[in-house]
Each structure stands twice: as C-alpha cells, then as structure tokens.
Amino acid sequence: MEIQGLTARMTAETEKIIVGKTHQIRLILTAVLADGHILLDDLPGVGKTTLVKTFSKVLGCDSRRIQFTPDLLPSDIVGMRIYDQKKGEFQLLEGPVMTNLLLADEINRAIPRTQSALLESMEERQVTIDGETHPLPTPFIVMATQNPVESESTFRLPAAQMDRFLLRLSLGYPQAQEELAMLQNLGDSIPMDKVERVADPELLCQLQKQVQQVDISPMVAEYIVALTQGTRSHPQLRMGASPRGSRALYKASKAWAAMEGRTFVTPDDVQTLAEPVLAHRLLPTNEARVAGATSASILADLLDRTPVPPSREGRF
C-alpha cells in the first residue's frame, strides 16, 4: 500500500474544491496519518467548513459540525442520557462528537468548561456520560477553527487544550490568480459531486499503522529532543514545548516522510513541521512580545542555532 500515491490522489481530489492550498492540504493529511488533531487559526470566509466537507468525502468518513457559542453546554458535545417514558428507562442520546471528522467551529467562543469537554475525546478517543465510558469511532480527528482577530465574546484556549492539537495552520487569503480560478470553477455553487472518495475509515486506520513503521534514526530523534529542550530554556519563552510536543513532532515527521515516499525521517522533515507542530505550544515572555518576537520567529531562531544531524538517501 503506497502512502505517497494515495495521499497524492487525496490532495488532487481536495484541490478540485480548495484552490491553491497544496501545502496546507498536505499538512492536514499529515495530521490525519499521524492520528492527530488540527487547529485552523483563520479569518472568516476562507473555506474552513468547505475544507472539512471536502476532506470528509475524500477520506470516506462521517463528519459533523459543532458551532461553538457562549451558551453551548458540554452535553451538547458529548451527549446525554434522557428518560424514555414509553420504555420507562434512560436512553443514550449521542452527541455530535460520535463521528470520524469533527469540525469544532469557532471553538474559542465557548466557555472554558465547554471547551474542556473535548479534552477527553481528543486525548483518549472516548467520552464519559454519567460515569459510563463510550469509545469514539476510529479514526477520530478534530478540526477546530478560531478567529484570530475578534476578541469580543471569546475565551482563550487553555494551554492544555492547545497542546492536544498536533498542529496549527492557516489557510489565509488566496492569491489573485487563485481567487480568479475559484470564481471561475466554484462561483455559483460548490461542485462537491465532482470529488471522488479515495479512502474509508478502515483504510485510514491501516495507513496510520503503516506510518508507525517509518524509521527515525537515533540522531534524528536526538535532533527532535534538542529542539524541544531548546524551547524550554530559551530566554524569550516563558513556556516551552511539552513532551507531548516532542511526540507530536516525532509522529508528524513519520507521516510527512511516508507522504514523500520514504521509509525513514530526515532532518528536513523535522524542520518543515517544526513551526506548525510546535509554535502554538510556546508562550513568549512579555518582554519578547514588546520587542516584536513571536513564537514562530523564536522557533526559527532556535532552528538556525540547533546543530542539524547528517541525512541519508533512499526510497521505498
């Protein structure tokens, strides 16, 4: 089963709808293959919901959407037990979290108590309702969105929840030629019927297991550790990447290597993924913020200063 060919087909099918975002599409596929969650930090109207719908069709997965609002309750996410008067017993009413691909739209508009309802689902792939544990479908991927410019009626995602997203990315506005192509191809309606299914949940689980077999040499693993350790001692950071962050970079690098057609990870793979995987886990000091430094710029400096191990060549 060739991951490179399959993901190339997935990318091509997605690009029938999402124009000019090849790198972002590949990053999302990386998260899917690494069994991780995605945070889309983006402006309204750039196609986030359309992206999830397209991916759900390409991946052959069930998908559901939750619009996060300040009055959303945890039970609106995970579900609840309701009393059935006809049967004289309580019945489980499943929440929208019982799906393969969950779009958590504008997640930072919900109160922290509601946001935390996703923590168990994202980490343990299960929900607990009235003391009873229920496993989630496999695979289970959360794609959450938040608006980076609006602050009214929003709540900052806690560090514990940010840490559970494998990577963060932004679609951004399209270039002029890309937007023109979008209008010409999708101006009146979105031709979702032209998108073909490439995979299904069972195949995705098989691909995730295959990705786990990709080799990471001791030197590349040490390079990942050096980067994450460097974030914890950097003078401009008051919080560095956690061990979960190093595991995320480890897993994502394997998935990216497999998509590139290799059975091993190179330092280039780690460098490509360092910013989307680690930047959202870092907190700059107040002094660094005043000086104009960001998590991304600090991480770029760290990448420049960390010795890179030698690479090797080879193909599948």
Fold of the domain built from segment(s) 213-305 = Helicase, Ruva Protein; domain 3 (1.10.8)
Is there a contact between 173 and 42 (Cβ–Cβ < 8 Å)? no
Phi, psi of 290 (to 5 degrees): -60, -35
Residue 196 CB partners (closer than 8 Å, separation 6+) = 13, 58
pTM recorded for the entire structure = 0.90
Q: Per-residue pLDDT for 51 more than 90?
A: no
User: What is the band of 93 on the pLDDT scale with cuts at 50, 70, 90?
Assistant: confident
- Please tell me whether residue 163 adopts helix, strand or coil conformation: coil
Q: Per-residue pLDDT for 316 more than 50?
A: no
Which tens digits make up the pLDDT trace of 215-263? Answer: 999 999 999 999 999 999 999 999 999 999 999 999 999 999 999 999 9
The whole-angstrom separation of Cα 92 and Cα 212 is 35
User: What is the band of 315 on the pLDDT scale with cuts at 50, 70, 90?
Assistant: very low
Is there a contact between 282 and 237 (Cβ–Cβ < 8 Å)? yes
Identify the CATH homologous superfamily for domain 3-70+99-207: P-loop containing nucleotide triphosphate hydrolases (3.40.50.300)
Give me the mean pLDDT over the 51-57 stretch. Answer: 87
Residue among 52, 30, 108, 56 at smallest CA distance from 275: 30
Bond preceding residue 139 cis, omega within 30 of 0: yes
| CATH 1.10.8.80 placement within the chain | 213-305
Residue bearing the bigger pLDDT, 82 or 185: 82
Q: Report how many helices (DSSP H) and strands (DSSP E) the chain contains, helices first.
A: 14, 11
Residue bearing the bigger pLDDT, 214 or 19: 214
- Please tell me whether residue 237 adopts helix, strand or coil conformation: strand
Residue 43 has which token pair? 């402006």
* Dihedral (Cα; 15, 65, 250, 215), 10-degree rounding: -60
Phi, psi of 79 (to 5 degrees): 110, -175
| CATH 3.40.50.300 placement within the chain | 3-70+99-207
Which tens digits make up the pLDDT trace of 96-155? Answer: 999 999 999 888 888 888 888 888 889 889 988 888 888 999 999 999 988 765 556 677
pLDDT, position 187? 65
Helices (H), the chain: 3-14, 22-33, 48-59, 75-78, 112-115, 117-124, 159-162, 176-186, 201-211, 218-233, 243-259, 267-278, 286-290, 295-305
